Amino acid sequence: MSLLAPAALGLLSLSIPLVVLYMLRSRRRVLEVPSIRLWEDEEQHVSAALPWQRLKITAALVLQLLALAGFAFLLARPFFREQTLLGPHTVLIVDTSGSMATAGRFDAALSEARSLAADASDARLVSVVEAGSRPKVLTAFSREPGPVLAALDRLVPGGGVEDLESAIRLARGLSTPDRPTTLLILSDGGTAGAFEEPVSSARHVPFDATGDDVAVTAFGTGVPGEGPPRVFMEVANFSARLREVRAELLVDGLAAGSLDLTLGPGAREQEIVPVDAGPGQVVEVRLAGDPDANPTDDASALVLSAASQLTVTIAGEGSPFLDALVAALPGAGPASETPPDIVILDGGSADLVDRPAWLLAPEVPPGGVSIVGRVESPVVTYQRPSEPILEGLDLSGLAIAEADIVEAPGWLPLLRAGDAPLVLLGEIDGNRAVYFTFDVARSNLPVQVGFPVFGARIIDYLGGSRLSTAGTAVAGTPIPLAPPPGGAAAVTPPGGEGETVTPGVLEYTRTGRPGIYRISYSDAEGAPAGSAVYARQFAASEASAPPRSIATTLDDASALEDTSLLREWAPLILAVLLAVVMIEWWVAYGRPLPRRRVAA
């Protein structure tokens, strides 16, 4: 222990006169007499007292000496050094993705951030960056705890995928030349490979609590079939024990049926369920059963919409699977005399494609793509997270006889086998295209339960989302706004109060929470002018996201900075001092006790 003002210990010398006063006190003999009337006529009172007495150690003296010592030590300001994660300027990057809601990870991260915020000062500036689906700076260069705590209070765990790469880029933009900046990443690790590691001038504070979790990992329409609309639902068990849950379906908030599911450890169960609902209605699924580690992923919702007609032509070799897929898709059919909206090219040459196309292992690839080899029996090792086409589909068991190895600059891989892409998204002369590097007929994809959904989503993507569920997307996806001229838009988020959007803003971005968002429009005079409903779903990849460690490094400037704080003992000493003073008062006044009333 060290002292900030050691000269204050000189006050301990006051103990000498205190002891002297105790030695100078008169000491009289106590004598009990029957009456004092015999001394009433005495004009001079005589008292005997010795000027110096032998020091007698009493409880009052000891307590007064302790109080004096405590007061001296309080003024001397004793302190100790405590290690801290804060540097001259620290940017707190707080992960608000869906996986952070697991087993209290986010609450622990928020508690750690609040503890660090209390140490903000002129010497240790603090900034806060939210690492959600759309990262943003919440406060910058704060010298006081107040603004930092206010920014942290606005954070809630969402249901989307974190964009740590953009969050780190935002944090680096807060660097200043006059003092070193350290990034402090409060996260469960995010997705491996989503950003470059190791992260320089950074520290990772991991939050890796786990627990039993059952999640809705897929919920959508586009399932072919006659009769009422049908929804595709997948429920996954991410715990190590058997779980029994009930999936309850609701249409516009009213019960519409339920399913009892029994899931083994790590198991998934997929169901196709008919629902009595039409365009514009909201369909929800909720899991009922034992509480689990992440309640955010226990529900999902979608908004049904009417499908528009698309024409599709299959060119090349073709297969019965593709014919059955096109024939079964609602709102799509084969082209007759008019040019098709979409081309499915099975083999052949992609050079002449002039419209949205689904390319299946073409012999001649489109411009900008080259075939550099072939791979036998590729195994899926990468599935792009939070991709709407793949949302809720598990293609890890996909078996393929052989696939082309292609180089496709500018194309986005959705599936990979090692470094070899299997499914890619891109454009051909400004038209959307989906490229399979393997022949569907020489794989087990057509016999998988998710193939109709996969094919419907591809046709939907190529057709410009004319078959998709209207307004349904992954949490964090902005909602477009279209108020009338001079009018306004109001948004009611899930479980929240409505808020009016600033005029001129054409999208609503605070959509990190899964659920239903209701938009209402009003004209320039305030009269109702229409409404819309949107659904945002929990990202399935976040339900199973295991915690991991982010590789970080510290540069020499950050490593040489003092990473300790001075913590004074003043609060503890003051508390002890007050306790000693109260005890001394109690002793000095003869140990007074509360009197008990005696009944008459």
- Mean pLDDT for all residues in the chain: 83
What local confidence, expressed as pLDDT, does residue 231 receive?
84
What local confidence, expressed as pLDDT, does residue 563 receive?
58
Q: What is the dihedral of CA 267, 272, 275, 278, to 10 degrees?
A: 120
Tokens of 346: 């099975």
- Better-predicted residue by pLDDT, 16 or 196: 196
What local confidence, expressed as pLDDT, does residue 559 receive?
44
What local confidence, expressed as pLDDT, does residue 125 receive?
92
Mean pLDDT of 448-459: 84
pLDDT bin (cut points 50, 70, 90) of residue 464 is low
What local confidence, expressed as pLDDT, does residue 42 receive?
60
214-303 against 310-462: fold identical: no
CA-wise closest residue to 199 among 158, 229, 165? 165
What local confidence, expressed as pLDDT, does residue 467 receive?
36
225 pLDDT higher than 60: no
Identify the three-state secondary structure at position 279.
coil
Judged on CB neighbours under 10 Å (0-12, 13-18, 19+), 54 is exposed
53 pLDDT higher than 70: no
| CATH architecture under which domain 310-462 falls | 3-Layer(aba) Sandwich (3.40)
pLDDT bin (cut points 50, 70, 90) of residue 68 is confident
Tokens of 342: 């979409």
How does pLDDT run across 531-584, given as a tens digit for each residue? 899 999 999 889 877 899 999 998 655 444 445 555 666 777 788 878 888 877
Tell me the percentage of the chain whose pLDDT exceeds 90: 38
What local confidence, expressed as pLDDT, does residue 579 receive?
83
What local confidence, expressed as pLDDT, does residue 468 receive?
43
48 pLDDT higher than 60: no
> What topology is assigned to 85-210+546-562 in CATH?
Rossmann fold (3.40.50)
pTM above 0.85, yes or no: no
Domain ranges within the chain, ordered by starting residue = 2-79+570-588, 85-210+546-562, 214-303, 310-462
pLDDT bin (cut points 50, 70, 90) of residue 456 is confident
**What are the backbone dihedrals phi and psi of residue 446, each rounded to the nearest 5 degrees, phi first?**
-65, -20
How does pLDDT run across 240-297, given as a tens digit for each residue? 899 999 999 999 999 998 999 999 998 988 888 888 887 788 999 999 988 889 999 9
Pinpoint the alpha helices (H) of 99-182: 105-117, 145-153, 164-172
Mean pLDDT of 436-451: 89
What local confidence, expressed as pLDDT, does residue 466 receive?
44
CA-wise closest residue to 152 among 191, 118, 203? 118
Helices (H) and strands (E) in the chain, counts: 10, 34
Q: What is the dihedral of CA 570, 576, 582, 586, to 10 degrees?
A: -160
- Which CATH number does 214-303 carry? 2.60.40.10
How does pLDDT run across 120-178, given as a tens digit for each residue? 888 889 999 999 989 999 999 999 999 999 999 999 999 998 899 999 999 999 988 88
What local confidence, expressed as pLDDT, does residue 41 receive?
65
Inter-residue contact 455 to 482 (CB < 8 Å): no
Q: How many other C-beta atoms are found inside a 10 Å radius of the C-beta of residue 79?
A: 16
- Cβ partners under 8 Å of residue 352, min gap 6: none
User: 394's torsion region: left (phi>0), alpha (psi -120 to 50) or beta?
Assistant: beta
| Helix or strand (DSSP H, E) at 323 | helix 320-328
